[in-house]
Amino acid sequence: MNKETLEEFLKYCTENPNVKFQQFVARAAQDDKLPTTYYHYPRGVVSVCPEYLIFLTSVEDTPGQSLMIKGMIHEVTGTFEAVWKIKEWAEDPSSIAKDAISLIKKIFESENDPRFFEKLLLNKNSFCIPLKKIKTLKRERVFTQGVYIRLEAKEKYNVCQDMNYEHPIPATISWASVKWRNDVYSMIENICCKQSK
């Protein structure tokens, strides 16, 4: 993430403690090319306020085919692990509570890490864009993947719908209508239009 932009964003947040953010999970990356396979991009959280769009991710792998393959392997092994856990729980129901406590502890340990937020901000895959610097904006669909929003400022960015993360019915409707994240798109579009006048 650009250090100067990050400092401006943090200053903005300090000066505007009550600013409201719209947040959603997506796959995103700085990329000169239009997206073809969204799984090449890391999953993270997009936060949009009246001045900035920020994408934070804990994924440190470089976007590309290796990230996609690693993600697929993780999903497949996750399925096998889930099946094995269910088998263990059926054989020993008391292990459900132990596993739940272990999971909750793991979640709180990562979120209570004093450097957790700092790590997200300093991640090379995270980015922050001042909305007033966006020159062009478009929203399109890759038929087999979902909808993406293309932002062009000094660099080019793709923010892509993660169809596997969203509820299937609203995801399919937004995919079919190409109106994914219409609220965010309209906000950015209004700011871009004001800047271009």
Residues 125-177 have pLDDT tens digits of 999 999 999 999 999 988 877 899 999 999 999 999 987 777 888 888 888 88
**What is the distance between the alpha carbons of residues 133 and 104, in angstroms, rounded to a whole number?**
41
pLDDT in tens, 168-181: 888 888 888 888 99
The residue that leads in pLDDT, 53 or 116, is: 53
pTM summary value: 0.76
Residue 116 counted as domain residue: no
Which residues constitute the domain of residue 92? 65-111
Lowest mean pLDDT among 112-116, 122-126, 178-182: 112-116
The residue that leads in pLDDT, 54 or 73, is: 54
Residue 146 counted as domain residue: yes
Q: 47 and 126 in one domain?
A: yes
Lowest mean pLDDT among 75-79, 91-95, 124-128, 193-197: 193-197
The residue that leads in pLDDT, 39 or 81, is: 39
Q: Which of 27, 45, 44 has its CA nearest to residue 36? A: 27
pLDDT of residue 105: 63
Q: 139 and 52 in one domain?
A: yes
Contact 171, 163 (CB under 8 A): yes
pLDDT of residue 104: 62
Q: 187 and 132 in one domain?
A: yes
pLDDT of residue 133: 92
| Residue 177 CA, distance from chain mean position | 21
Domain finish residue from 77, 111, 145: 111
Rounded to the nearest 10 degrees, how much is the dihedral formed by the CA atoms of 51, 137, 122, 63?
160
